[in-house]
Structure 1
Amino acid sequence: MALAVVQPGQTQARRLPGLLFTSPEPDFVCAQVYGEEVYIYGGNHSADNANVVARVPLNQATDRKAYTFWNGKDWVADVRQAQPILTQIPGAVTASYNPYLGQFLVTTCRPLSSEILMYTGPSFAGPWSQPTTAFRGLPPSSDGMDYAGIEHPELAKNGGRTVYVSYFNTTGFLTGDLRFVEVHFG
């Protein structure tokens, strides 16, 4: 995972040198700022597609040594102690606080399916509810699948009652469309 910095009011980011996380560490993606901290989820390369969560103070996001990882009971400095908080997550996943639900919301795709799933929980570390199918994406081509289902919490409306989710819909060999869907709660 690499980082880039963009200054307020600017439209061009500057990539920072080097990588923040490297193999065999989890592949962390989709950072979310909540309060004064950044939370990121990462796959740990296991057969069950398990994901772990890390956090860091926002003002230290570029300092690898400042990151801590949920071990099932507490936040610890050693990434090797991180325990899975979600399984069967094939790739991209987002988590955000949803004021309308009064809970944290995880969005991802069901493996090998066109279903976009959502989970709720009391914190960024869960525990998480059973998944609910938010919607089914368009049927993918016969040689592909839908994937990369993520929420865009910065676009939520009505206090989180309406959220927006994007996903990739395969339309043919090495081709597809990025789809954008509005999801209403209640």
Structure 2
Amino acid sequence: MMRRMRGVTLTTVLTLTTGVLAAVTVAAPASAAPCGNSGILGSSLGGLFGSAFPGGFGSSGGLLGKSSDQQDLPSLGNGPTQTVRWVTGPRSPNRTDTRFGITGTDLGIGWDNGSGQTLMAFGDTFGDCNAPTQQWRHNVVLRTNDKDPSNGVDVPDGVAGDVRSGASVSAARPRFANEALPAVGVSGAEITTIPTAAIAIDGVQYMNIMSVRQWGAPGRWVTNYSIIATSRDNGQTWTTDPRTIRLNLPASVPGVEQIDDSNGKYQVNAYLRGRDGFVYQYGTPNGRFGAAFLCRFAPQDILDLTKYTYWDGKGWSPDTTKSEKVVTEPVGEMSVSWNDRLQRYVMLYGQETSGSLVLRTATAPQGPWSAPVTLLSSRQYSGVYAPYIYPTSGGDSRYLYFTASRWQDYNVMMLRTDLSQLALG
């Protein structure tokens, strides 16, 4: 359990932390998008991102080129995993560049909103390459009614004030998806806020985000904290809840005890609806080289960290420090879901050391998890990361649909894996 701090509340610590971040002078990026420059590593970037920016996204170290350089998706041969369609970008049927001001983005974390739609959360997003800041948004949310991903995902137009339209937009800019949550935007303080997991409970949307302090080498970054944001209008607007903060930096406030280091295990997260009524949260440290840990809670307690319990290797403990790994490192961004065809839980994640996307299965959320099975290798298609299981399958359980991002194109695609072709133990 998170240690109680002497004489202050967690809200106070969050206020102080964000106050320090807000005090930093924000310099707009001169160029930071997949536009007609040398990529986001270009010298015009100055000190905003630093020279190792790709460590926050893909593992291939590639550069972003012009927006028109997004490539057609290739056929991957006769293997079990195939590309379906781009979800975002100029080459997507959604034409997110002209309809939502999204030329490049990543992640695409999909979840069932509980009322017939799928919501999708994206990370750092760029639009008009000629705009002064290239329309950088730290995160955006799109909505779809499409329940059949076999031919991709169709996103309807955004309509101002319509919380079930394709995106949150304003009347003044109906073709520009609004940022969901802000960030200071300065390396060394808070460079961005990125979604890592989302779930709907009783009509409320919950999104777990990480506050990124600085990018490092490929696959490595440092976070300030993770925190849960809530939306009561179907992802139209979001508010962070300070009770859910998990600090990952020293709390240098007089009279305040340092936050438990075990919170660092839950900086990048994934939610799972267990068949036993609990919600399970898988967590990894910042970056893509840590192990995966596990906690659980009753759905109504999602905003009360004191009600969470942690897998200690034998059972469930209220003590955060007892949290033991359930999957050995390295584990990148992950997603977990129950699969009716396999009658098992399925976990997808990126394996940074091999540049591959892998799948594991288990009969219980805590495992034991099977050995990883490769779904997509870097030799087949390089620079692909962050596989997120799509919440609908179009009625054909033979296929597992998931989104993933590719660094070179800096956009999100839909893929599918034929489960009947996998050798699962």
TM surpasses 0.5: yes
Paired letter, 2:270: C
Shift of 1:39: 1.1
* Bigger RCO of structures 1 and 2 (CA < 8 A, at least 6 apart): 2
Paired letter, 2:417: V
Residue in 2 that maps onto 1:2: 227
Matched, 1:148 2:386: yes
Matched, 1:90 2:321: no
Q: Deviation string for 1:82-125 (max 9, x for gaps)?
A: 11110123321111111110111110112143421000111110
How do residues 1-186 of structure 1 correspond to structure 2 at under 5 angstroms? 1-7=226-232, 10-18=234-242, 19-23=244-248, 24=261, 25=263, 26=265, 27-35=267-275, 36-44=277-285, 49-136=290-377, 139-140=381-382, 145-152=383-390, 154-158=391-395, 160-171=397-408, 176-186=410-420
Change (3 A) 1:10 1:177: closer
Give 3-state SS (helix, strand or coil) of 1:100's partner: coil
> TM-score scaled by structure 2?
0.38
Paired letter, 2:407: T
Shift of 1:184: 2.0
**159-168 or 115-124: bigger deviation:** 159-168
The runs of 5 or more residues in structure 2 that have no matched partner are 1-225, 249-260, 421-425
Shift of 1:146: 2.6
Give 3-state SS (helix, strand or coil) of 1:148's partner: strand
Q: Deviation string for 1:63-97 (max 9, x for gaps)?
A: 01011110111011111111111012332111111
**83-92 or 116-125: bigger deviation:** 83-92
Give 3-state SS (helix, strand or coil) of 1:80's partner: helix
Give 3-state SS (helix, strand or coil) of 2:333's partner: coil
Rg larger in structure:
2
CA contact (8 A) 1:50 1:88 kept: yes
**11-20 or 99-108: bigger deviation:** 11-20
Paired letter, 2:385: Y
CA contact (8 A) 1:99 1:159 kept: no
- Is the strand fraction higher in 1 or 2? 1
Runs of 4+ with >4 A deviation: 44-48
CA distance in 2, matches of 1:157, 1:120: 22
Give 3-state SS (helix, strand or coil) of 1:139's partner: coil
CA contact (8 A) 1:100 1:159 kept: no
CA distance in 2, matches of 1:107, 1:128: 12
> TM-score scaled by structure 1?
0.83
Give 3-state SS (helix, strand or coil) of 2:407's partner: strand
Give 3-state SS (helix, strand or coil) of 2:227's partner: coil
Give 3-state SS (helix, strand or coil) of 2:306's partner: helix
The runs of 5 or more residues in structure 1 that have no matched partner are none
CA contact (8 A) 1:33 1:58 kept: no
**80-89 or 51-60: bigger deviation:** 80-89
Shift of 1:52: 0.5
**Corresponding pairs, count:** 177
CA RMSD of aligned residues (A): 2.5
Paired letter, 1:2: I
